[in-house]
Amino acid sequence: MRVRTLGRWAVATLALTLLAACVPQQTPSPSAPAPSPSATAAVPSGEVIDVSLVPNLEVDRPTSTDSNAQPAGFEDAPKGGLAGYTKQQLDWSTCGGKYECAEVLAPLDYANPDDQAITLALAKKAATKSPKLGTLFVNPGGPGGSGRNLVTYFASTGLEQYDIVGWDPRGTNASTPVKCFDDEETQAFTELDSSPDDPAETEALIVGTWQFAQSCREHSGALLDHISTVDTVRDLDLLRQLVGDEKLTFLGYSYGTQIGSYYADVFPQQVGRLVLDAAVDITDDDSVIQAMGFDLALGNFAAWCARQKCSLGSSKQAVLKTITDFFDELDATPLKVGDRPLTQTIAVSGVAAYLYGGIPAWRTLSNDLKSALAGDGTRLLKASDRLNDRNEDGTFGSLFYSFPAIGCADGYDKGVVEAEQRWVIDQQKAPIFGKYFGPGYTCPLWTARSTIQFKPTGSGAAPIVVVGATGDPATPYQNAVTMAKQLESGVLVTYEGEGHGTFGGKSTCVDRLVIDYLVNGTVPTDGVKCQ
């Protein structure tokens, strides 16, 4: 969730720039591969909406395909069409001590597998107990979070019979990555005001966003046209075949729940045991719901802060006023942190970053807000940097670029004017974050058309466990309720608590249910509640 750059869309699905906050941590005989499905087999079974046929729908993306750029990892396609990819051998080699890494090729375009290949990078923590149950694929969210990194801190206690495998989805990290601005240009982009107050700020934001989109096309080329979640789902099924598993076993956080739900829709017969933790909205655009979720989480923090006599205010409303007044002051006069400004937009994203962590992060948030109010915005700036995938040396990771590329590929828009109209509604429903997140210009100005829109139902899939936390700021609890209902085999597990992502140390009850399901196949009772 990078608040600044992507505005309204940014808040919608990012799970994992703050890895530790988003995924709770603990000190963390295959069957023959199934035949490769045909290109036409990967068609969602849910309600399909052809955007081009919707009356009065005006999508004003300046579509362009004139770039021949080939990001790192573009390779010649193997011979034999899709069958050539399924014949690959996983060549695991030691990396990072107790982990193993490998690379495989996947089609850039599954409809034309002979044309061009891209590279997918994987990491594995091998099973340490027998009998081996196969492979548990994991994804941390994003879109754009690194599955390879997740393997190194994933809460694997109780799951030692599985090989734990994470991969960097197409367009991200060590897989063929999306490329856009250079680091200096990206830094300047993050300093634009995401909630413009006058025509000049609006023009600057629109122009900057348009330039960003053009740069992504220039440096990423055709990758932008084949980076949707359905493309990633095809990749995941290819990986399932390559590890030799008849069925997919998968645990995904946040955006990873979209990968899992889409997989269940595209490949229902290959679904084994799926856990979807911190569900995104798979019904429609979820920007308002997300902003409302962050407003709720900030309100919960403010109430706690007042009870703790944290010196930000004697009541919930007083604490909220202190925070919003501070944001408004920064809008007029950014706080200097070395040679960088702590702008309103950056401060908002820094506060949002802490809300991912729930109650354990609240004391730190309180202290860092007090420091910023006293003139030292260093720690708030660093929190925003982590959320924006900015390294201490000023370089940016791939998440900053892959996030909008994947998000805009998946979602459709009605143009810049509609984005501004929606922002008005957002502010009415979420007065704080709905205001500061600003209008969602990114996708209206993107250079690639969105994919078909559909509502996955996973018809025919085995039971799927959906975990939701009542105090989740980024993926509000209602998303999990809706996902469990929309997926025909969905089973809801509720964590009555704060934070983003539950499995892995927040709740003994949730951990027990998830592990029992993954190891023994015991499906939790639908609607069960945990604390």
| Helix/strand/coil for 13 | helix
pLDDT of residue 138: 98
Distance CA 464, CA 458 (A): 9
pLDDT of residue 6: 41
Task: Output phi, psi for 524, to 5 deg.
Answer: -60, 155
Residue owning tokens 């995941």: 236
The two most distant CA atoms of the chain are separated, in Å, by: 69
pLDDT of residue 42: 43
| CATH architecture of the domain formed by 1-531 | 3-Layer(aba) Sandwich (3.40)
Q: How far is CA 298 from CA 76, 292, 348, 355, 431, in A?
A: 50, 10, 11, 7, 12
Distance CA 221, CA 200 (A): 31
Q: Which residues pair with 164 in a beta bridge?
A: 125, 136
The torsion defined by the Cα of 428, 433, 438 and 440, in degrees rounded to 10, comes to -90
* Tens-digit pLDDT string for the chain (531 aa): 333 334 333 333 333 333 333 333 332 222 222 323 333 334 455 555 444 444 555 557 777 667 899 999 999 999 999 999 999 999 999 998 889 999 999 999 999 999 999 999 999 999 999 999 999 999 999 999 999 999 999 999 999 999 999 999 999 999 999 999 999 999 999 999 999 999 999 999 999 999 999 999 999 999 999 999 999 999 999 999 999 999 999 999 999 999 999 999 999 999 999 999 999 998 765 568 889 999 999 999 999 999 999 999 999 999 999 999 999 999 999 999 999 999 999 999 999 999 998 899 999 999 999 999 999 999 999 999 999 999 999 999 999 999 999 999 998 888 898 899 999 999 999 999 999 999 999 999 999 988 888 889 999 999 999 999 999 999 999 999 999 999 999 999 999 999 999 999 999 999 999 999 999 999 999 999 999
Closest CA to 357 of 470, 467, 472, 245: 472
Distance CA 517, CA 231 (A): 28
Closest CA to 358 of 494, 498, 477, 467: 498
The pair of three-digit structure tokens given for residue 417, joined into one six-digit string: 């004017």
Is there a contact between 495 and 469 (Cβ–Cβ < 8 Å)? Answer: yes
Q: How many helices (H) and strands (E) does the chain have?
A: 18, 14
Q: Which residues pair with 249 in a beta bridge?
A: 136, 273
Closest CA to 262 of 241, 231, 286: 231
Burial grade of 138 (CB within 10 A; 0-12, 13-18, 19 or more): buried
pLDDT of residue 284: 62
Is there a contact between 527 and 465 (Cβ–Cβ < 8 Å)? Answer: no
Sequence ranges of the domains in the chain:
1-531
Is there a contact between 474 and 290 (Cβ–Cβ < 8 Å)? Answer: yes
